[in-house]
Amino acid sequence: MTWDLELEVALNPRSSLAADRQHGDWYKVRGLRMEEELALAALDKLKSLPPRMAESFAKSFTKGTERLLAQQDKLLASHEKFPPMLLEPLVDETPLQYRRGKRRAMTGLEIAEERERDASRQRR
């Protein structure tokens, strides 16, 4: 019991699998092909095992699948709670002020001192 992609594409060339193969769009089928192949491989392995080993294999496969589904549900819930979005752009509220003939901008202290000097000049 194996799944043959070439046969599927040959039988139904207009299927989504044929389109996926032709265009190379992995996200179009969202990994379904890989999951189907994995499920069929697990079934083949289960059929080939002796009864005692088959039961333990099935239990461990079920346990692993349930754990994976639980983790995926947690991820989905966290993505719904905090949707991905860009942060608001930072606003530069203080434009840099330069003194005449200087290469660097004035610091906050220098700006305050300059304002005090200007205010004292205005008062005189």
Q: What is the pTM of this model?
A: 0.45
Determine the pLDDT at residue 48: 92
Cβ contacts of residue 97 below 8 Å, gap of 6+?
Answer: 105, 106, 111
% of the chain residues with pLDDT over 90: 34
Per-residue model confidence (pLDDT) at position 37? 87
Task: For residue 32, give the nearest of 58, 3, 12, 55 by alpha carbon.
Answer: 3
Every domain of the chain and the residues it spans: 5-81
For 68-82, the pLDDT digits (tens) are: 999 999 999 988 888
CA distance linking residue 84 with residue 73, whole number of Å: 17
